[in-house]
Amino acid sequence: MSTAPIASPRTEPPPAGARRPAPGYDLARVRAEFPILATRVHGRPLAYLDNAASMQKPRAVLDAVIDCWSSSYSNVGRSVHTLARRAAEAREAARDTVARFLGAPSRGEIVFVRGTTEAINLVAASFGPRRVGSGDEVITTALEHHSNLVPWQRLCAERGARLRIAPLDERGRVTVEAVAGLLGPRTRIVALAHVSNVLGTISPVAEIAALARRRGAAVVVDGAQAVPHLAIDVASLGCDFYAFSGHKVYGPSGIGVLWGRAELLAEMPPWQLGGGMVESVGYEETTFAPPPERFEAGTPAIEGAVGLAAALDWLSALGLQRVAAWERELLARATELLLEVPGLRLLGSAGAHAERAEKAAVVSFVLDGAHAHDVATILDTEGVAVRAGHHCAQPLMAWLGSAAATRASFACYNTLEEVDALAAGLHRVREVLG
């Protein structure tokens, strides 16, 4: 695999006149729904550009969680009292909401988990051993978050299988050809991110899934960075499993979703054992509940599910297409301004304004002579919140030729003025660090 770093050429200037949201997108009204955006940091207005790590929460989510706690909270399961029924109904209604949002054929295919990491671990631990044996192969890609790499490393080590890594092209993209070149008669699982958390690259999941399934391989998709930015239809994607986290899509932390094909979930044994996932228990034998309950041991994140449903409903009402269009303008503006910062190198060059967008609203960069943590610390003094480090993607960072990078990531509530503040802050970093 090549280790040549990727730099972004100036090929994606923002379209003329694209300096404010399109008609029908009321940015001021959107921002007013996020109380935390009124925060001041070091005496400056907060410019929150760490959305790929966690997004802020609109009032609809705050209100839903508070209402759950204050009027209908109880444990769910066997209880028949009024509060327990309300809580159970709210949680199952949330399952319906998630199913609609993902285009899932059945609510029974929606498993509530703590987040993307737990979802992928569940698949690797429960589905993996049934599919992968000695001499078999699992394919993942060079841009994966550790959560979609380490579980497959362990599975392959335990099963005597081989983990194969699909390389990136010179623009930081996973291509159909790269995955096709690795597919073989022993390929059992293909696991890939829908959107890279470092480069923002959008992978051609549907095309890769079609190839993989024709070869008899199951397809697992890390959708953590895709769900906030792209309209997801799991049926159209053709994958077998899809995972995402609530906190990355304007919802609470500690809640996430694994979607899986009903026939695959039905054949998978439980991963965690305990209350809530059994039908009957004796001293000699236990029978397990059908999916999705089979994979939801213990007391669930009831308020988390309610808050996640509120977030998805809120985002759907706002309109994913309108949000995506505005985020593309933010990304294009950021690309234009950051390329003017002396000594700054953007990572990845996939386009945001092509006929088919290849990049979500994420931009990562390195600044010559400055450590990413120092960059982020100085930006914080300017009120600009960004991410710094290896972004839980150390192999990718090594391929990019840098141990760490600074990342700015955008959401529906960000403004062009905040992008300008990021650029001004980086010029300030240059002044301070020389």
Decide which of 246, 281, 315 is a domain's last residue: 315
Tell me, yes or no, whether 34 and 72 share the same domain. Answer: no
From 119, 141, 145, 122, select the one nearest 245 (Cα to Cα). Answer: 119
User: pLDDT tens-digit profile of 49-80?
Assistant: 999 999 999 999 999 999 999 999 999 987 88
Average pLDDT, the chain: 93
Tell me, yes or no, whether 90 and 177 share the same domain. Answer: yes
Does the annotation count 392 as an active-site position?
A: yes
Active-site entry in 156, 239, 392, 412 = 392
Q: What is the per-residue pLDDT for 420?
A: 98
> From the CA atom positions of the chain, what is the Rg in Å?
22
310: Cβ–Cβ under 8 A, 6 or more apart, which residues?
60, 61, 63, 64, 65, 251
Residue 369's CATH number = 3.90.1150.10
User: pLDDT tens-digit profile of 250-261?
Assistant: 999 999 999 999
The model's pTM: 0.93
Residue 65 lies inside a defined structural domain of this protein = yes
Decide which of 265, 282, 315 is a domain's last residue: 315
Tell me, yes or no, whether 298 and 331 share the same domain. Answer: no
Residue 143's CATH number = 3.40.640.10
Domain that holds residue 378: 27-49+319-433
397 in helix, strand or coil? helix
Tell me, yes or no, whether 254 and 324 share the same domain. Answer: no
Domains of the chain: total: 2
Q: What is the per-residue pLDDT for 22?
A: 63
Which residue has better confidence, 52 or 170?
A: 52
User: pLDDT tens-digit profile of 304-315?
Assistant: 999 999 999 999
Mean pLDDT of 175-195: 98
Q: What is the per-residue pLDDT for 349?
A: 73
Q: What is the per-residue pLDDT for 357?
A: 65
Decide which of 287, 315, 343 is a domain's last residue: 315
| Edge-to-edge strands, sheet with 405-409 | 344-347, 362-367, 405-409, 387-389
Tell me, yes or no, whether 296 and 334 share the same domain. Answer: no
Tell me, yes or no, whether 279 and 190 share the same domain. Answer: yes
Residue 124 lies inside a defined structural domain of this protein = yes
At 422, the pLDDT band (50, 70, 90 cuts) reads very high
